Amino acid sequence: MKRLHFGAAWYPEHWPVERWAEDIRLMKEAHFTVVRLAEFAWSTLEPAEGEFRFEWLEQAIALLAQSGISVVLGTPTAAPPAWLVQTYPQSLAVDEYGRRVQFGNRCHYCVNSPDFHRAVQRIVRAMAERFGNHPHVIGWQIDNEYNRVCYCEHCQAEFQAFLRVEYGTLDELNTRWTTAYWSQTYSDWAQIPLPIGPHNPGLMLAFRRFVTRSYRNFQKLQLDELRAHLPASVWVTHNFMNWFGAFDHYALSADLDLASWDWYIGSGHHDHLRSGAAHDLVRGYKRRNFWLMETQPGHVNWSNTNNALNKMEARAMAWHAVAHGADALLYWQWRSALNGQEQYHGTLVDQSGQPRPFYEEAQLIGDEFARVSELVIDSFVQAKIAILNCYESRWAIEFQRHNNAFDYVSYLEHWYRSLSANNLEIDVISADAALEGYKLVIAPALMVLDEQRVQRLRDFVQRGGRLVLTLRTGLKDRHNALLASRPPGPLAELAGVEVEEYYSLEHPIPVEGKLFQGSASVWAERLRLLGQPFTTVMARYGACNGWLDDQPAVVVNPFGAGFVYTVGAWLEDRSQEILVRQILRNAELKPFETPPTVEARTRIRPDGTRLYFIINHSRQEQTFTLPWPVTDHLTGQEFAQGPLTLYPYAVALLTRRD
């Protein structure tokens, strides 16, 4: 049944069968509709090679079904058992220092190991045959949080084979990588190493593509086994770790039915602008709603302080996730294990089996989800703003930051924050995604370009779109080689400028214009106007190092029916916010005004009804002005147009009454 789902990860294999019924009773009282099972249970499901014991899992699913709770089954491949490692020691990964990873943690496998692949196929096939058509299994999660990069000899051979396909000949590879530099020319494919430590930029970028392909193949191996036995109504996902950067998440998500991720705050408290970027990133993987497969019920066990969330902070976070497109929220985990590496992680039920204080808050969230599920479930987020997230550009920058303070994700988040503070929906999408339907596209540090990306951006602006180009744009090709032109390379005609020089900044420098008197830090570029008739300088550098004094820093250029903004400096927050407001006005995108800690987000039902999620993310009362009369579907209250006061961590789910 399609609904707004609520639940947790449950590990019945940790506990006597006699305890299970009580756990499920408490789940039911918390309004659970789903639990995730078995994603780390390989040694219990297959205690010896080829010997399967599924009866306990069958029993757990049956007991959950009696209480109306559905199941997401995890393939247990993130936790290869001891017998597998003992029998197939080459299945263990090798780290970048040449050390074989030891048994005792998780994700210790080599993603390309043939021995491991055979074992994976066997367990996944057996589970799919047993549970693929089970009426209470609504979805499957493949593995858990892909993360390890392997540097073993087998991976090196696979990488060399990958390069043969990518480049065809060594002459082509040597040319693209400029291997004559430092006498790196290859005369045999077997000479090509893995990038252990700093290496040729072309090799390093190619290796990231290889890692992406390796995980995609590993995932497809499991998908093929599952889909041979699953009905079309049962979906398959993987729980990604938002900004984790070892591979291209868009590429892996393309093969899945549903995007999902694991959301943790760690130290401190919820920053709705930062987490909003992560939710919108994951929604952008498939450009539709997603699941939260894990989030924290109070505190974690792996950060600096592991502090608890404030009372009702998690409720605000839950509705924040839904507002950004989540159709499910599952906590990790249900009950504290008596031993194992995560003993101190927050749970809903403690090691004694008694509910923790947070359980009452979870009950409230579950009750609210149940009451408005029918209203919310078919709604979706419709964004008119897109931020391009380019893994190739990110990798190229991470390999050669030039300024250690230059972090690609932080820079993307910098743009996201200044946009999201206006309470406008944003998609964080692949740099290779279609741009139809957007009014404004931000391309932060789009360093790596190819003909298709350039043409897509050109067409977008030509038909009336607003495009923002930034520092470190158009510097490289897809082999991580410098383009033989000044940045932004083939985008210069659109921008009306070129970059004469870039400057890594040791301290802030002034940036001044009619809109703002501010500063830039980390990075600044000296822009030269190309003489197009309507190019306008919006801000210039103030007196600083002599080279940048009075030079253009922010420029806008009309092109076709649209406009291209070039922002050549990493502006401080206030200047960025003022600039963004001006760009939004030009794009005819109207902000929804609230205090800084109050978030307003919109989902749209198929009939066109707009659902307004209003969330106070602070510990203080906040007041904002309702632009129309509304009904709050969480409380049943009606409010007139005018001031509305929100108590700390308050949530309102509104529809208009006019």
Kindly list the distances between the CA atom of residue 89 and the CA atoms of 92, 122, 194, in Å, as whole numbers in the listed order.
6, 18, 21
CA 192 to CA 295: how far, in whole Å?
Answer: 41
Active site includes 493? no
| Pairwise CA distance, residues 160 & 180, whole Å | 19
Say how far apart CA 363 and CA 369 lie, in whole Å.
10
Residue 253: how many CB atoms within 10 A of its CB?
Answer: 24
Residue 654 to residue 658: CA distance in whole angstroms: 12
Question: Which residues are CB-contacts of 416 (< 8 A; sequence separation ≥ 6)?
Answer: 273, 276, 277, 280, 387, 426, 428
Would you call 232 exposed, middle or buried from its count of C-beta atoms within 10 A (0-12, 13-18, 19+)?
Answer: exposed
Q: Which of 39, 145, 158, 525 is catalytic?
A: 145
Cα separation of 229 and 368, whole Å? 35
> Residue written as tokens 């579907």?
633
Cα(53)–Cα(57) distance, integer angstroms: 8
Q: How many CA atoms within 13 Å lie on the side-chain side of 132?
A: 19
Q: What is the residue whose two structure tokens read 């499991």?
A: 222
Burial of 280 (0-12, 13-18, 19+ CB in 10 A): buried
Q: 242: exposed, middle or buried (C-beta count within 10 Å: 0-12, 13-18, 19+)?
A: middle
Calculate helix-pair angle for 153-167, 201-227, nearest 10 degrees.
Answer: 100
CA distance 474 to 483: 8
At how many degrees (to 10) do helices 201-227 and 170-177 cross? 120
Alpha carbon of residue 31 to chain centroid? 28
- Name residues whose C-beta falls within 8 Å of residue 462's C-beta, 6 or more positions apart in sequence: 559, 560, 561, 562
Q: Which amino acid is at 100?
A: R
Contact in structure between 390 and 473 (CB atoms under 8 Å): no
Between CA 503 and CA 510, with CA 504 as vertex, the angle to 5 degrees is 75
Q: Strand pairing partners for 527?
A: 499
145 has catalytic annotation:
yes
Beta bridge partners of 94: 100
Q: Are strands 137-141 and 235-237 parallel, antiparallel or unpaired?
A: parallel
Q: CA torsion sign, 583 to 586 to 587 to 589?
A: positive
Look up residue 528 and give its amino acid: R
Q: Which of 46, 158, 294, 425 is catalytic?
A: 294
Q: Interhelix angle for 272-286 vs 408-420, to 10°?
A: 100
The token pair that represents 79 in the structure block: 């936790």
Catalogue the active-site residues: 145, 294
